[in-house]
Amino acid sequence: MGNATLLSKIRFGAAGIMLLAATSMAYAAWPERNITFIVPFPAGGSSDMVARAIGQKVSDTLGQPVVVENRSGATGALGATAVARAAADGYTILVGSIGVYATNPFLQPNLKYDPLKDFDLLTVAVRAPNVLVANLNFPANTVAELVDQLKKAPGKITFASSGAGSSDHLTAALFWQRTGTTGLHVPYRGGAPAVSDLIAGHVNVSFQNINAVIGQIQSKQLKVLAITGDARSRLLPEVPTLKELGVDGVDVFSWQAAAAPKGLPADVKAKLHGEIVAALKAPDVRKRMEDIGLEIVANTPEQFQEFLVSELARWKRVIEAGNITVE
């Protein structure tokens, strides 16, 4: 090997080392500006609440503002697509729900993102079971009585949901599949009008996120028949799970999770994950979440990945079996 060639290789190697060092230093300085949490739904919902609670803590710790931007549309797909296309630099984070990650791929044929391929998954932040609630005057007071009515009048008992393809709609579909029954799905534009009509008696029953109806249950505006969790809720300890009542396979949770565009530098990903988990475990944030029925999960990226794979498989089966669309 000639001296000139050797010298050239040494210079090339040194330049590469300097470039890597400069890149590492740049990412070590993260964050140097505002971080944006994109919530793909309107303000006031569960994803928005979780994002703002986490964002404030992360901002306080890192010393940079965290801006929560609500970019709703297409059942969360609009905001999720924007994050998937953003730079993988740690400054744009998605905080969204089960629908964004686990059901949109099977409900929207022209979806412009792949939840497994286009994101660096960070953590499942929180989860909440659904509750099966009914209008006070609805004659069924137990799950057994509801199933009996569904079998006597197939497709007649009305199930309200916050929209076609929502977690409450899919929970109802799964419940019908597991009990061999059919009901009549009545979709609304959001959970609030669905619950209002349920209270008014315009619809019979609904599976709703516990945090969305705990107030109405406690004030006795709605009666609750069961919970979809794998254990009873500390907010409703007297309410049995569906599994306790003999309905297997309907242990369903709605959940909110954080992800970033695919390709985050490893050190930024680790730091982001650590900050979000620390925020979720802060005593005041934990209490605020648990008081409305949200359970802190705060798992690892690897656990999130494994969980998402199982959720995608599960809801694909339910959607295909029920021939469910959002049209």
Instruction: Give mean pLDDT, residues 164-188.
Output: 95
Are 221 and 138 within 8 A, CB to CB?
A: no
Predicted local distance difference test score (pLDDT) of residue 4: 54
Assigned token pair, 19: 């470039």
Segments in the chain forming alpha helices (H): 3-28, 46-62, 77-84, 98, 104-107, 143-152, 167-179, 191-200, 210-218, 266-281, 283-290, 301-321
Greater model confidence, 46 or 138: 138
Instruction: Give mean pLDDT, residues 184-213.
Output: 94
The residue among 182, 186, 293 whose CA lies nearest residue 235 is 293
Three-state secondary structure call for residue 123 = strand
The β-bridge partners of 222 are: 135
Longest distance between any two alpha carbons in the chain, whole Å: 93
Predicted local distance difference test score (pLDDT) of residue 3: 54
Three-state secondary structure call for residue 248 = coil
Three-state secondary structure call for residue 222 = strand
pLDDT in tens, 1-18: 555 555 555 555 555 554
Which one of 3.40.50.12780, 3.90.650.10, 3.40.190.150, 3.40.50.150 gives the CATH number of domain 34-127+254-321? 3.40.190.150
Assigned token pair, 254: 């709605």
Instruction: Give mean pLDDT, residues 214-232.
Output: 96
Outline which parts of the chain fall under CATH 3.40.190.150: 34-127+254-321
Predicted local distance difference test score (pLDDT) of residue 258: 98
Outline which parts of the chain fall under CATH 3.40.190.10: 129-227
* Torsion sign, CA atoms 107, 101, 192, 220: positive
Measured between alpha carbons, how far is 116 from 198 in angstroms, rounded to an integer?
A: 36
Instruction: Give mean pLDDT, residues 216-229.
Output: 97
Least confident of 41-50, 113-122, 177-186, 240-249: 41-50
Q: Quickly state the pLDDT bin for 26 (edges 50, 70, 90).
A: very low
Predicted local distance difference test score (pLDDT) of residue 23: 44
* Topology (CATH level 3) of domain 129-227: D-Maltodextrin-Binding Protein; domain 2 (3.40.190)
Are 119 and 96 within 8 A, CB to CB?
A: no
Predicted local distance difference test score (pLDDT) of residue 235: 93
Measured between alpha carbons, how far is 284 from 296 in angstroms, rounded to an integer?
A: 12
For residue 117, give the amino acid letter: K
Q: Quickly state the pLDDT bin for 22 (edges 50, 70, 90).
A: very low
Output DSSP code: residue 294: P
As a whole-number percent, the residues of the chain with pLDDT over 90 amount to 82
